[in-house]
Amino acid sequence: MTALVQAWYHGTDRNSAVKVQINPERCQGHGRCYDLAPGLFGDDDEGYGMVLGDGTVPPGKENDARLAALNCPERAIELLEEV
Ligand code: F3S
C-alpha cells in the first residue's frame, strides 16, 4: 500500500511543507479522507472529497494527511512533499 509522494518545490526558502490534493478522476466518494482527517478534507454536495483551503498541511498534521492517503481505496490522494 503506497501513496503517491512527489517532490514539491515552491521556490522559496521556507521550511519543509506538505500539500495534499485529490485526483478528481480517481475519487469515488468513499469518504475516508474527511472521516479520518476532517481538518484537511471536506466533501462536496455529492460526497466526493475535496481539500480544504489550498491543501497545505499545517505543521503537526502530516500524519493525518498520510493516514488519509493510505486509506483512500482509490489512491486518489496525493501527498506532495518538499524535499
Ligand atoms: Fe475520494 Fe478517497 Fe476521499 S475516494 S472521498 S479521496 S477517501
Q: Any idea what DSSP says for residue 5?
A: E
Architecture of domain 4-81: 2-Layer Sandwich (3.30)
Cβ of 32 closer than 6 Å to ligand 1, yes or no, is yes
pLDDT tens readout for residues 6-65:
444 443 445 578 999 999 999 999 999 999 999 999 999 999 999 999 999 999 999 999
pTM greater than 0.85 (yes/no): no
Q: Any idea what DSSP says for residue 73?
A: T
DSSP letter string, 7-56: E---SS-PPP-EEEEE-TTT-----HHHHH-TTTEEE-TTS-EEESTT-B
Instruction: Please count the CA atoms within 13 angstroms of the CA of 81 that sit on its side-chain side.
Output: 12
d(CA 12, CA 55) in angstroms, rounded, equals: 17
For the CA of 75, the nearest atom of ligand 1: 2
